[in-house]
Amino acid sequence: MTDKQWDTLLRVIRGEEVEPLPTGFIIDSPWLPNWAGMTILDYFTSDQLWFEANKKAIDTFPDTMFLPGFWSEYGMCSEPSAFGAKTRFPADEFPHAYPAIFSNEEIDKLQKPRAEQDGLAPFILNRLKLNQQKIEDIGHKIRFSVSRGPLNIASYLMGSTEFLMALISEPERVHKLLRIITDYLKDWHKVQQEAIPTIDGMLVLDDIIGFIGEDHFIEFALPYCKEIFDMNVSVKFFHNDAPCKVSAPYLPEMGVNFFNPGYDVSLNELKELTNNQVTILGNLPPRDTLALKSSDEVWEETAKMINELTDRKKIVLSGGGGMSPGTPTENLKAFIDAAKS
């Protein structure tokens, strides 16, 4: 993000009125490589192609923010790899992390990984350090440390069904697992922030909190996420595009001030759920509208979304979730043009 974009984001988060309404999109490997004309594997394995893909995005859409911006990642394999998860990287499909915990008893043997050395984390961080000067030479800076959230990682290590069942059958062991993952994530964000001084924000992504009820959220998600967000940065950015009506009212307590939800809840309702204390990044359907409809329809749906707002503060217009694969250039330009006009 440029200094101007970062300043705009901070102003919106502080509750200042910004006109026209700013736009921003979460972009990563499901969309960016193929849009930029390369395979996902080439994007993951070449610093040059990774840089060129991100640069193409900011050059093509200079009037929007890309979040977190120059995201160094290996899909859902990024954090589970540190815990020993086997990873699969097809040439042009999404990578996959296999379970690494095959019985609840194995949690007792789990040890906290070293954030600076284990799994794919050293490659993620070194890519940013190697490209930091090139990024700054084109007027952008690395602003965010990034990770998946503790429940998300636990679900990959155990399997989603197995993890959710363990919440009921083995709550003490699940707490032990989440304790280890949380301590690792706190280390991992700290390592990123110390290595790159321009970082003044953090992004945590966890959709699994959308699949549990309020009691389980309060017990298994809220305290651990609250710990992770207890860091001295200006932007505390959380993504959950699964159902969020249960968790959204707790976002301020969690420490979150910037939230990307799913599209099933309107911007006005999200403001009510969060007591207007959290800036919302959303909320057009990213696949069914932004990716699949015509550019004229995208313009109309974006204008409708804006006109229905009861309060234009604390809003960054976007899709309700990350950028969907296959989203065309003309549709993004239509979205941005509708916001500007």
The pLDDT tens digits for 216-233 are 999 999 999 999 999 999
Which pLDDT value is given to residue 13? 98
Which pLDDT value is given to residue 9? 98
Count of helices and strands (H, E) across the chain: 14, 10
Q: Where are the domains of the chain?
A: 3-340
CB 157 within 8 A of CB 80: yes
- Residues in a beta bridge with 74: 76
Tokens at residue 318, please?
């976007």
Query: What residues contact residue 212 under an 8 Å CB cut-off, 6+ apart?
Result: 151, 164, 167, 220, 221, 246
Which pLDDT value is given to residue 307? 96
Which pLDDT value is given to residue 130? 98
- Residues in a beta bridge with 194: none
- The Cα-based distances of 96 to 169, 281, 325 in angstroms read 27, 27, 16
Which residue in 81, 73, 83 sits closest to 29, CA to CA? Answer: 73
Count CB-CB contacts under 10 A for residue 35: 20
The residue to which tokens 């409708």 are assigned: 304
Overall CATH class of domain 3-340: alpha beta
The residue ranges of the chain whose pLDDT is under 70 are: none
Which residue in 215, 284, 227, 218 sits closest to 256, CA to CA? Answer: 227
Would you mind telling me the total number of residues written for the chain in this entry?
341
- Work out the angle at residue 164's Cα, subtended by the Cα atoms of residues 158 and 168, and round it to the nearest 5 degrees: 120
Strands (DSSP E) along the chain, which ranges? 24-26, 65-67, 87-88, 96-97, 144-148, 201-205, 235-240, 258-261, 279-284, 315-319
Where residue 321 falls (left for φ over 0; alpha for ψ -120 to 50; beta otherwise) is: left
Q: Fill in the amino acid letter for 218.
A: I
Which pLDDT value is given to residue 268? 97
Which pLDDT value is given to residue 172? 98
